[in-house]
């Protein structure tokens, strides 16, 4: 069956379709089990078109992850630059981050799978050159809030940022079984969960309701 190329004015949408099909194929078959030929066929383009955009399969794989990270970077900038109470801004971040990883489920699974590998050169590149930008932006925001006296200065901002991200990632990874936890009512309410996480971080567990 012949593959019909898209016209030139459809190049952008074809690339987006290629990335979407690649994400789906990599998530289902793993990196080793996915072939460029299968991805191209699913995207209804030729292999030569794939290699026109990406020099090899690894470059395509990283582009899938990079695109999702770049998309969230734009959201992150918008959220953190808003005015308003700090807890509301962080709650908005937590909500937006949760929405992003849930709506980009396949790519999120790719990232988590990659991070579970040994410290290979590819994994180091992914963390240092692809994922670190958004993490650093959040760390800087928290650090800036500390310098303004809005957050506890004794807390390491990188640990705070990692805690926020980790809370959402844990929920994402285990959301299908969390409903079986007794007395846990947020398994199917991710946005309520994110608000509760921020409330916990700001108000703690010490029982002092006067804060």
pLDDT at 195 over 80: yes
Distance CA 63, CA 69 (A): 10
End-to-end CA, the chain? 68
Distance CA 179, CA 182 (A): 8
pLDDT digits (tens, 9 = 90+) for 10-64: 445 778 889 989 988 988 888 888 899 999 999 988 999 899 889 999 889 888 8
Mean pLDDT estimate for the chain? 86
Q: What percent of the chain has pLDDT over 90?
A: 46
Whether the CB-CB separation of 126 and 65 falls below 8 Å is answered with yes
Give me the pLDDT at residue 158, please: 96
What radius of gyration do the chain's Cα atoms show? 20
Give me the pLDDT at residue 144, please: 93
User: What is the token pair recorded at 185?
Assistant: 């009512």
Whether the CB-CB separation of 48 and 96 falls below 8 Å is answered with no
The per-residue b/e assignment along 27-65, b for 16 or more CB within 10 angstroms, e otherwise, is beeeeeebebeebbbebebbeebbeeebeebeebbbbbb
Give me the pLDDT at residue 2, please: 40
pLDDT at 1 over 70: no
Average pLDDT on 120-143 reads 87
Average pLDDT on 3-13 reads 48
Distance CA 4, CA 6 (A): 7
DSSP 83: -
Q: Which domains does the chain have, with CATH numbers?
A: 1-53 (1.10.10.60), 62-203 (1.10.357.10)
Give me the pLDDT at residue 211, please: 52
């Amino acid at each position: 069956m012949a593959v019909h190329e898209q016209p030139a004015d459809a190049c952008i949408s074809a690339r987006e379709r290629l990335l979407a099909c690649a994400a789906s194929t990599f998530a289902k078959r793993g990196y080793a089990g996915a072939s460029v030929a299968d991805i191209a066929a699913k995207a209804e383009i030729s292999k030569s078109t794939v290699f026109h955009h990406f020099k090899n399969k690894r470059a395509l794989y990283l582009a899938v992850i990079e695109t999702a990270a770049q998309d969230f970077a734009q959201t992150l900038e918008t959220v953190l630059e808003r005015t308003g109470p700090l807890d509301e801004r962080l709650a908005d971040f937590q909500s937006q981050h949760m929405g992003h990883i849930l709506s980009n489920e396949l790519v999120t699974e790719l990232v988590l799978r990659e991070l579970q590998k040994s410290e290979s050169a590819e994994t180091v590149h992914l963390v240092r050159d692809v994922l670190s930008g958004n993490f650093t932006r959040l760390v800087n925001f928290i650090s800036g809030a500390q310098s303004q006296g809005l957050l506890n200065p004794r807390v390491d901002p990188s640990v705070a940022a990692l805690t926020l991200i980790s809370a959402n990632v844990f929920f994402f990874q285990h959301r299908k079984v969390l409903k079986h936890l007794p007395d846990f009512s947020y398994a199917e309410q991710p946005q309520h969960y994110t608000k509760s996480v921020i409330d916990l971080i700001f108000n703690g567990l010490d029982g002092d309701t006067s804060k």
